[in-house]
């Protein structure tokens, strides 16, 4: 088990669509363990996708405070309701954004043995699941953001700082 380096905003791998995992090889098991170790080593974290450690595969680990959840090849199959709230991302440190998300999601995924299961999530866990699955599609929370704030002070970012981050929004990023 090793703590991995987090890929930061601006690295093109964050905009790649992650590939499905066909089977959990020993190498994949090691990646999952490293992700778990990396997640717990970071302060204020709730989730991590494999692409955030430079591995564009459909693997997510989440701990919303109620224990670790691993999702392999996750797919959202149902969404409902709406919630608006703060989000942050290990790949965009120091920034919090206000984002609209579904309040409820139902996800089909697999465990490490390749067995399918369904996860139903509400509220904060639903927000975490959507955020991490977005990563697997090359989508970042700044693509949905309504406002950006400093994680340290809680104050809105200065226009220059906000513009530097928003330059990487999906529609801008694809045109570049």
Helix (H, G, I), strand (E, B) or coil at 8: coil
Is 161 part of the annotated catalytic residue set? Answer: no
From the list 132, 146, 161, 171, the catalytic residue is: 132
What would the two tokens of residue 23 be?
Answer: 């089977």
Q: Is 135 annotated as a binding residue?
A: yes
Asked if 35 and 48 touch (Cβ cutoff 8 Å), the reply is yes
Which ranges constitute the DSSP H helices of the chain?
Answer: 26-41, 123-136, 159-166, 170-175
Helix (H, G, I), strand (E, B) or coil at 115: coil
Query: Alpha-carbon Rg of the chain, whole angstroms?
Result: 16
Other beta carbons within 10 Å of 116: 10
The β-bridge partners of 100 are 84
Q: Is 128 annotated as a binding residue?
A: no
Q: Is 131 annotated as a binding residue?
A: yes
Residues annotated as catalytic (active site), given as ranges: 132
Annotated binding site for Fe cation: 89, 131, 135
Annotated binding site: 89, 131, 135
């Amino acid at each position: 088990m090793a703590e991995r380096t987090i890929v930061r905003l601006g690295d093109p791998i964050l905009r790649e669509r992650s590939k499905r995992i066909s089977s959990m090889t020993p190498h994949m098991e090691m990646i999952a363990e490293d992700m778990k170790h990396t997640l717990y080593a970071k302060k204020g974290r709730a989730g991590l996708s494999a692409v955030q450690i430079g591995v564009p595969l459909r693997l997510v680990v989440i701990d919303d405070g109620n224990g670790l959840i691993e999702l392999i090849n996750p797919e959202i199959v149902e969404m409902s309701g709406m919630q608006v709230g703060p989000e942050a991302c290990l790949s965009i440190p120091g920034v919090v954004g206000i984002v609209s998300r579904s309040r409820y999601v139902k996800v089909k995924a697999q465990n490490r043995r390749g067995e399918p299961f369904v996860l139903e999530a509400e509220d904060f866990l639903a927000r975490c699941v959507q955020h991490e699955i977005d990563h697997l599609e090359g989508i970042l929370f700044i693509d949905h953001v309504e406002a950006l704030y400093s994680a340290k002070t809680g104050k809105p970012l200065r226009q220059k700082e906000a513009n530097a981050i928003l330059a990487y929004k999906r529609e801008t990023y694809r045109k570049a």
